[in-house]
């Protein structure tokens, strides 16, 4: 079936989904399970070491076909091919998005402007490996010859969230006593508290910035540099303690980083897709290059699954279509990601940038305003803790919050029966969301506990839980470099598939620019001592005055 040129909401496939919604609106998921004993088996699919149980969703086989028909009508197969082959998928910035090339094997090839980019990717990995080895065996040390004990990675957004997620998630694989710290925030507290316990002689700074123009990163790096110089370092020693990963070598050199200490980034890697590049150096240095390569291999396995698996068996495609289903047909405004694994605690933060910076868009690729909702608000946190906080709203609030539960079958830490308890919590929450509890069931429980009739009638209404709340359970054997790589790549492709349906550019982020520009106009008004003109509106001017008096300017 060729893609249709009709606007999204006028495509027959969209209309078919509206029909599906009206057929399912009064259908309870618990009844779908009763009438279809094969449902759980049919809606459990696997790929790249991950399994997706999507049986607890408001859909039937017909709905699934209608969703995949929509994907085909939006040209998904061609767009997947475009993504992998280096076509210009980022139209507003006129470039490809080739994060998938970063995890391809050395004997493959991907052409950008007629040049194969795979050799330089692997040459960079070889440099990362060399650095890792030299630090481990002690041939690369601080300027006084002492081995490095601490790495400080300075970067923000994609130059921070992905590496931080992976470093923390792969803690069982840390290879030595080396510690890794991340500084992102322009709030001086971040760098000040990070530097406090560190010894400049044994600290290595990685300045991580694709553009080398990001205020937070540059200001924090200047503070780090000054701290190093005033605590026993000197200009010559900077080369031993400061490295950079950037696509803007000239600026990095101007900043004072030695050219030999600069690892490349490329135009065709988006910030939020960059943990697979040398931006992943903190990961490689913490877990070793073999494990970093295993992370890449896991992501590559997911890339192959995404390219090859039929739509209805394809994890990223199914997850993206389910998200479209609730976002566009059931009015869901947000999506929760709930990892049931302490090591994955930073997953929601990384996915928040990935998804919201990618799909928070209001015009189509050709600049036409959309007449449908695009990216939902993605949020979440580690399960179990959330159960005692925001799950109440998920179960009984008025909003629909579809959720992804992410859980490994086995734990790195066999502590009593904790993992079984954790797993039970995850399953019970998914089941409670799906099945709920009717008012009659709640009343019966109260009667059984001996409550009188009047109190039962009053309380049952509060205890009833509507259920019919959709969720996915994503499973892996254990959190390993391979499964983590596959997991992150899965969400990357899920994000891409959604953008294809919504016809938005998921690789640009113009929305973040205005705030940066205005920040540059406001800052001098806060720090100059003399007369300052208006920043443009009285509300801003009032608070500028308040700040100036609080800081005596
Ligand atoms: O402000 C958003 C952003 O542009 C992200 O897309 C990016 O990951 C981050 O800033 C950091 O950018 P850079 O790596 O160029 O410092």
C-alpha distances in Å from residue 23, one per residue of 10, 19, 28, 466, 471: 19, 6, 11, 19, 20
Q: Say if ligand 1 is within 6 A of residue 295 CB.
A: no
Structure confidence at residue 69 (pLDDT): 98
Can you give the pLDDT at residue 1? 63
Q: Are 251 and 110 in a shared domain?
A: yes
Report which of 21, 14, 470, 492 is spatially closest to residue 271, judged by C-alpha positions: 492
Q: Which domain-ending residue is among 294, 322, 342?
A: 294
Evaluate whether residue 1 is within a structural domain.
Answer: no
For the CA of 217, the closest atom of ligand 1 is 16
CA of 237 to the centre of ligand 1 (A): 29
Question: Are 348 and 458 contained in the same domain?
Answer: yes
Q: Residue 530 has what pLDDT?
A: 78
State if residue 350 touches ligand 1 by the CB under 6 angstroms criterion. Answer: no
| 163 C-beta closer than 6 A to ligand 1 | no
CB atoms within 10 A of CB 75: 17
- Among 90, 184, 206, 211, the mutation site with the greatest number of ligand 1 atoms within 8 A of its Cβ is 211
Same domain, 251 and 358: no
Is pTM, for the whole model, over 0.85? yes
CB 301 within 8 A of CB 48: yes
Cα end-to-end span (Å), the chain = 67
Q: Determine if ligand 1 sits within 6 Å of the CB of residue 136.
A: no
User: Roughly what angle, to the nearest 10 degrees, separates helices 215-230 and 513-527?
Assistant: 50
- Check residue 553 and give its pLDDT: 67
Distance CA 287, CA 172 (A): 9
Host domain of residue 522: 512-550
**DSSP one-letter code for 45:** E
Question: What is the predicted pLDDT for the residue at 478?
Answer: 98
- Please identify which residue in the block is written with the tokens 């094969």: 38
My answer on whether 434 and 385 are in the same domain is yes
End position of a domain, from candidates 273, 294, 315:
294
Q: What is the CATH number of the domain that holds 268?
A: 3.40.50.10490
Indicate which atom in ligand 1 lies nearest the CA of residue 512. Answer: 1
Q: Which residues of the chain have pLDDT under 50?
A: none
In a domain, 209, yes or no: yes
Same domain, 119 and 82: no
Tokens of residue 149, six digits: 């004990």
Check if 335 is active-site.
no
Q: 473: which 2 tokens?
A: 């359970």
Phi first, then psi, for residue 230 (nearest 5°) are: -90, 0
Is 3 part of a structural domain of the chain?
Answer: no
Is position 350 annotated as part of the catalytic site? Answer: no
Residues 259 and 213: their CA atoms lie apart, in Å, by 17
Residue 507 covered by a domain = no
From 158, 212, 220, 512, the mutation candidate for ligand 1 (largest count of ligand atoms within 8 A of CB) is 158
Quote the ligand 1 centre to 41 CA distance (angstroms): 42
Q: What span, in angstroms and rounded, lies between the C-alpha atoms of 332 and 110? A: 39
Nearest atom of ligand 1 to the alpha carbon of 516: 1
Instruction: Count how many domains the chain has.
Output: 3
Q: Are residues 339 and 439 in the same domain?
A: yes
Q: Assess if residue 2 is contained within a domain.
A: no
Q: Measured from the CA of 513, which atom of ligand 1 is nearest?
A: 1
Which residue has a Cα nearest atom 16 of ligand 1?
A: 209
Ligand 1 centroid distance, CA of 156 (Å): 6
Residues 53 and 146 in one domain: no
Interval between CA 352 and ligand 1 midpoint (Å)? 14
Q: Same domain, yes or no, for 348 and 404? A: yes
Determine if ligand 1 sits within 6 Å of the CB of residue 104: no
Whether 176 is covered by a domain: the verdict is yes
Burial annotation 109-124 (CB, 10 A radius, 16+ → b, else e): ebeeeeeebbeebbeb
Return all residues near 88 (Cβ < 8 A) that are at least 6 apart: 94, 95, 96
- For a mutational test of ligand 1's pocket, the pick from 157, 262, 278, i.e. the residue with the most ligand atoms closer than 8 A to its C-beta, is 157
Cα(375)–Cα(359) distance, integer angstroms: 5
Is the CB of 271 inside a 6 Å radius of any atom of ligand 1?
yes
Whether 159 lines ligand 1, by a CB cut-off of 6 Å, is yes
Judgement on whether residues 470 and 334 belong to the same structural domain of the protein: yes
Both 341 and 408 in one domain: the answer is: yes
Report the nearest atom of ligand 1 relative to the CA of 211: 15
From ligand 1's centre to the CA of 464, what distance in Å? 46
**Pocket of ligand 1 contains residue 210 by CB under 6 Å:** yes
Has residue 270 been placed in a domain?
Answer: yes
What is the rounded (10 degree) CA torsion for 502, 506, 509, 510? Answer: -50
- Is 34 catalytic? The answer is no
Which residues, including other chains, have CB under 8 Å from residue 299's CB and lie 6 or more apart?
100, 103, 276, 485, 486, 488, 489
The pLDDT assigned to 329 comes to: 98
Residue matched to tokens 């970063």: 102
Is 358 among the domain residues?
yes
Q: Catalytic residue, from 196, 388, 462, 513: name it.
A: 388
The pair of structure tokens assigned to 83 is 């993504």
Ligand 1: residue whose CA is nearest its atom 1:
512
Q: Nearest C-alpha to atom 9 of ligand 1 is from which residue?
A: 157
Q: Are residues 331 and 429 in the same domain?
A: yes
- According to DSSP, residue 379 is labeled E
**Ligand 1 contact, 209 CB (< 6 A):** yes
Say yes or no: CB of residue 211 within 6 Å of ligand 1: yes
Do 170 and 121 belong to one domain? Answer: yes
């Amino acid at each position: 079936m060729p893609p249709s040129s009709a606007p999204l909401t006028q495509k027959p496939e969209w209309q078919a989904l509206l029909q599906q919604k009206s057929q399912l609106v009064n259908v309870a998921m618990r009844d779908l399970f009763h009438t279809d004993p094969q449902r759980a088996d049919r809606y459990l699919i696997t790929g790249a070491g991950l399994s997706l149980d999507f049986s607890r969703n408001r859909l039937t086989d017909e709905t699934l076909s209608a969703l995949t028909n929509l994907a085909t009508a939006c040209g998904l197969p061609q767009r997947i091919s475009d993504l992998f082959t280096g076509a210009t998928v980022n139209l507003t910035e006129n470039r490809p998005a080739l994060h998938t090339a970063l995890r391809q094997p050395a004997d493959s090839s991907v052409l950008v402007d007629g040049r194969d980019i795979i050799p330089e990717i692997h040459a960079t990995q070889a440099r990362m490996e060399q650095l890792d080895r030299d630090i481990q065996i002690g041939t690369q040390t601080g300027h006084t010859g002492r081995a490095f004990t601490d790495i400080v990675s300075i970067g923000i957004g994609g130059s921070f969230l992905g590496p931080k997620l992976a470093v923390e998630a792969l803690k069982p694989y840390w290879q030595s006593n080396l510690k890794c710290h991340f500084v992102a925030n322009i709030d001086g507290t971040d760098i000040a508290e990070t530097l406090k316990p560190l010894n400049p002689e044994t600290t290595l700074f990685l300045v991580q910035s694709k553009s080398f123009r990001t205020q937070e990163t540059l200001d924090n790096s200047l503070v780090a540099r000054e701290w190093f110089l005033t605590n026993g370092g000197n200009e010559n020693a900077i080369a031993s303690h400061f490295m950079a990963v950037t696509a803007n070598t000239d600026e990095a050199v101007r900043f004072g980083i030695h050219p030999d200490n600069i690892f490349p980034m490329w135009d065709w890697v988006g910030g939020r897709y960059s943990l697979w590049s040398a931006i992943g150096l903190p990961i490689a240095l913490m877990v070793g290059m073999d494990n970093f390569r295993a992370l890449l291999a896991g992501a590559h396995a997911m890339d192959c699954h995404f390219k090859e698996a039929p739509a209805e068996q394809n994890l990223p495609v199914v997850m993206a279509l389910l998200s479209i289903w609730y976002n566009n047909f059931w009015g869901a405004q947000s999506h929760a990601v709930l990892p049931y694994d302490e090591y994955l605690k930073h997953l929601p933060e990384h996915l928040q940038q990935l998804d919201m910076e990618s799909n928070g868009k209001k015009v189509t690729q050709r600049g036409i305003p959309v007449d449908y909702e695009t990216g939902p608000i993605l949020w979440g946190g580690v399960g179990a803790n959330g159960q005692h906080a925001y799950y109440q709203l998920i179960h009984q609030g008025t909003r629909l919050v579809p959720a992804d539960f992410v859980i490994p079958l086995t734990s790195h830490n066999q502590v009593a029966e904790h993992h079984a308890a954790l797993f039970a919590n995850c399953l019970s929450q998914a089941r409670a969301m799906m099945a709920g509890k009717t008012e009659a069931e709640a009343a019966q429980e109260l009667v059984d506990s001996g409550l009188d009739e009047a109190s039962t009638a009053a309380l049952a209404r509060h205890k009833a839980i509507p259920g019919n709340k959709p969720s996915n359970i994503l499973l892996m054997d254990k959190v390993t470099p391979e499964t983590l790589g596959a997991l992150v790549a899965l969400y990357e492709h899920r994000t891409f598939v959604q953008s294809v349906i919504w016809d938005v550019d998921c690789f640009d982020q113009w929305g973040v620019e205005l705030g940066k520009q205005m920040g540059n106009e406001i800052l001098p008004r806060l720090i100059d001592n003399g007369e300052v003109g208006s920043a443009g509106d009285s509300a801003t001017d009032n608070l500028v005055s308040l700040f100036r008096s609080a800081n005596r300017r």
